[in-house]
Structure 1
């Protein structure tokens, strides 16, 4: 039987459940149980709340989520292994795209779990203090999922009640109504969320404030965006920028003071429900964070190299635009902390010794003459106009690598995904201040980020001034800071710069992107399943 968005709910008697936010999965015996009996107990209701958190894993750290939130922008081009080139290049992008279908189902399933919890919490038997916090968590999560839906598809279906039975219609709802619900949910959540949580990964008061700052930027409410960003920056919540940008990506340092909100994964990979018909009801191969696979060049076929843990398993999905590589000035430590250019031999040959440089894939122009190693420089990788010439060899985004995996072929990673870092609050404040006409204040907040990024002795060179503050500069700075962190497409859409910057900086897709690509096509499976097809129609521009 076909299902529409309104009746995709965890089957009441079988729930994704966890302790410490989805780290451990429990399965209820379905024999004789109903949702009324399970969710009417404190233990059963806790399983519902944990299920609501678990759906974040369908987007964060997943190839589908990366393709929808980073690709098709000014920063990335298709590597040879790209499995969703229509999302990257906007060529033949239609509602039959598998990534869009997966995320639509997951996000609406998540919303329905949140709606169920909000509607059932009064009968759950929770202690008053716990009840207030769990309700706040559910309202935050509903806002979180609806923001992703709104940004991705525009004014599509909106519901605040749990589905009961089979529903075969859907509604089109104005973006303003989405924002009204998102705002009210977040403001309500902020009232009752604690400042900290012993369960790492649960939302806290400052995390909700930070996300509301992002929402207000999306909505064009710049004073409010600034106020909520500053409420976290100045709120004495214990957050701080790490001294070294590179330390953010150390697997031993994931729980650090810069992380405001995270989607966490278990170090026991078996608990991340990679393939389970019961615990993973929407399909197989969700598993753990797979961001470590996606940005790696094909190094393991080069002379003197073989696949190993340190260099990663190269799926070769995405490669940087020349524009992205050139954004980092001399003296900016974020380039070396984000990109890997040199591969040292781990498979010696007659011509390449163990530990010697085997491959150098660089953004620079470098002569290959007299080199004992292979050089792939900017002129080898890119044409004179910036179009890609080689989709296999290029500087590799390395910040998501995970050398703690059990083997070099392991596709899963226990790396947590940083959804909101403290750095974002500074750049949110800078953008809001710029929009409000306060360039001096914008430069002040940007300079805090650049001071952390500056290499020793380059601090003065990295400083910027008020006249340099433009929307494009702030987008450049966000690219340097957040490259690959599943936010770029939203940044460009929010600022109205998606078409302009893709056309200016991504020559591989510049001729294909159109104005209607600022929302994604509604999955065809959804359109086929509903009966009110004349009312709930495909987004304009798509077939």
Structure 2
């Protein structure tokens, strides 16, 4: 049987193990090389490439959110990625690196077999979907690790030597791939026909805009002086151009709550999402998304069967909740401010289950809280404990005593959870586990596209156009509270990078973008050391070589196995 191999030095293992993975849908006795040359086998291989995407979201999102300004330790204290104490031997980093190259090699396999498999109406479409997946993985890698080896072919032997490409070449490859995939020449489907689960032209246009935006910041200034200066004069203009193409004149017409509703996952807000389905995973208890289990206080164990499982690694920071003004109704659509007798009663028994905790917004006065309590047509707020979202003196729900916000983060029920990723299906509730959610993970959507355009316009000096993008985004239903249109309207004078990052925090809270947002905009060290509530020291972000840790280390195991000379990233 012909075997498809991981890149030994990069994937850290041959694909003899992955060959078993690829064989999962080959129920016949036909050897894989022959099976993948059939229409059914080629579809199975393509599905295998898609299935690798779930690996990045079936794990804690440490590389995406740890060590930033928006999230800090929950009940689990001393998360290694949060304090920048990790080394090149850190397993979390190695697993991410391996998963990305595994996905790339499977995508390369689809592309390779696409030349020899029997023809069908979807053959070229599947090849281009694999090219999308490969480019997407490289975009993840280059943001985290900088330059990496560019591998564009399937390996049927253990290849041991892989030199890192230049940063310029990696970005050039990603941009050229997404440019083709977004064009009329590609065989990707339009978003209207693809659904949210298959790579499509609109998603390709979104990532083309975001890749241009990211490269535009790599100008050799600030902390990025440690990286190659590869920015081109047209990058921000291209980012804005393709963002507008992806927007296609649409104003968001779903509220945040509606756009992320687990029962409404095929909606026009979403360009592309990573699919989770109990029929597609081996174990619905362990193989689901980890996103629901993040960003909140611990809510008890098995003794609380209708509370969602929170792993306790990341709690929303006070800073994040303070970013929402009185007029911004995205707060209550993003956070579970009203905690019923059981967490999921919010969905199943909203008018009959008592509200036992109310996490009052950061802007709420005593008069606001009194008005909230008085508005009680169902009599479910009579015994509610109010926990103010303030730095000092808020009541801890676990014991009814005053405590700092920082202390409450590590206490049971200490602060409001992000709710927009909730899988409130009875099946998921019954499976109760940190990885039981079958809620798809949204990775490309309309709301962020407006923010990409706004950031690109800012960098072009077009602050009026940037403000227009924000104001159009805020036309989303449920964003502006009644009577606060003026306060929520942005002018060009409001626009700077801090405002853009704050708006990204408000719109994209809990979505896995914050670390790369800060890294991209040259604000990682400033924001992490100034705002992280666990007290990140600047010295911890500087390595023994005196360089900042604005990239992740190349896993030491990958360097050791690679016969090519690999220079470790600065800071390690």
Match of 2:416 among 376, 381, 395: 395
Distance 1:216 1:290, change over 3 A: same
Please give the secondary structure, in 1, of the residue aligned with 2:339: strand
Contact 1:380 1:390 in 2 (8 A): no
Q: Does 1:172 align with 2:156?
A: no
Q: Does 1:432 align with 2:435?
A: no
Corresponding residue of 1:513? 541
Shift of residue 409 of structure 1? 4.9
Match of 1:328 among 313, 316, 324: 324
Q: Does 1:106 align with 2:115?
A: no
Shift of residue 296 of structure 1? 3.0
Please give the secondary structure, in 2, of the residue aligned with 1:261: strand
Distance 1:358 1:295, change over 3 A: same
Distance 1:286 1:222, change over 3 A: farther
Please give the secondary structure, in 2, of the residue aligned with 1:215: helix
Shift of residue 103 of structure 1? 1.4
Mapping of 1:288-437 within 5 angstroms?
288-300=288-300, 307-309=304-306, 311-346=307-342, 355-364=353-362, 373-377=384-388, 378=390, 379-380=392-393, 390-392=409-411, 393-406=414-427, 407-411=429-433, 412-437=436-461
Contact 1:8 1:112 in 2 (8 A): no
Corresponding residue of 1:351? none
Please give the secondary structure, in 1, of the residue aligned with 2:147: coil
Shift of residue 417 of structure 1? 1.0
CA distance in 2, matches of 1:206, 1:271: 25
Please give the secondary structure, in 2, of the residue aligned with 1:209: helix
CA deviations on 1:376-427 (whole Å, 9 max, x unpaired) are: 4321579999855641211211111211042355221111111111111111
Shift of residue 538 of structure 1? 2.8
Contact 2:236 2:459 in 1 (8 A): yes
Shift of residue 295 of structure 1? 2.1
Contact 2:393 2:404 in 1 (8 A): no
Corresponding residue of 1:446? 470
Contact 1:9 1:113 in 2 (8 A): no
Match of 2:90 among 91, 97, 104: 97
Corresponding residue of 1:541? 571
Shift of residue 8 of structure 1? 4.4
CA deviations on 1:3-59 (whole Å, 9 max, x unpaired) are: 432664476754548xxxxxxx72445x56142x12222221222211111111112
CA deviations on 1:83-115 (whole Å, 9 max, x unpaired) are: x8111221x211232221221111101111112
CA distance in 2, matches of 1:401, 1:147: 27
Corresponding residue of 2:347? none
Contact 1:10 1:109 in 2 (8 A): no
Distance 1:180 1:384, change over 3 A: farther
Distance 1:339 1:123, change over 3 A: same
Distance 1:2 1:153, change over 3 A: closer
Corresponding residue of 1:483? 509
Corresponding residue of 1:207? 203
CA distance in 2, matches of 1:484, 1:419: 12
Contact 1:405 1:413 in 2 (8 A): no
Count of matched residue pairs: 502
Shift of residue 227 of structure 1? 0.6
Match of 1:88 among 73, 78, 82: 82
Structure 1 length as normaliser, TM-score? 0.84
Q: Does 1:152 align with 2:144?
A: yes
Distance 1:346 1:338, change over 3 A: closer
Corresponding residue of 2:482? 456
Q: Does 1:188 align with 2:183?
A: no
Distance 1:32 1:53, change over 3 A: closer
Distance 1:242 1:59, change over 3 A: farther
Distance 1:240 1:413, change over 3 A: farther
Corresponding residue of 1:21? none
Shift of residue 437 of structure 1? 0.9
Distance 1:34 1:299, change over 3 A: closer
Please give the secondary structure, in 2, of the residue aligned with 1:418: strand
Q: Does 1:52 align with 2:49?
A: yes
Distance 1:10 1:519, change over 3 A: farther
Distance 1:289 1:497, change over 3 A: same
Contact 1:387 1:506 in 2 (8 A): no
CA deviations on 1:243-270 (whole Å, 9 max, x unpaired) are: 422212322112111011111111xx25
Match of 2:271 among 260, 272, 294: 260
CA distance in 2, matches of 1:163, 1:240: 45
Distance 1:274 1:27, change over 3 A: farther
Please give the secondary structure, in 1, of the residue aligned with 2:536: coil
Distance 1:530 1:206, change over 3 A: same
Shift of residue 459 of structure 1? 1.7
Corresponding residue of 2:118? 125
Contact 1:79 1:319 in 2 (8 A): yes
Distance 1:11 1:96, change over 3 A: closer
Corresponding residue of 1:523? 555
Distance 1:10 1:234, change over 3 A: farther
Once the two structures are overlaid, the 10-residue window that deviates more, 67-76 or 188-197, is 188-197
CA distance in 1, matches of 2:313, 2:22: 30
Contact 2:104 2:134 in 1 (8 A): yes
Structure 2 residues without counterparts, runs of 5 or longer? 1-5, 217-234, 344-351, 370-381, 397-401
Shift of residue 242 of structure 1? 2.9
CA distance in 2, matches of 1:287, 1:149: 23
Distance 1:262 1:178, change over 3 A: same
CA distance in 2, matches of 1:289, 1:314: 12
Distance 1:523 1:195, change over 3 A: same
Please give the secondary structure, in 1, of the residue aligned with 2:475: helix
CA distance in 1, matches of 2:386, 2:26: 53
Q: Does 1:272 align with 2:281?
A: yes
Contact 2:75 2:297 in 1 (8 A): no
CA distance in 2, matches of 1:147, 1:211: 9
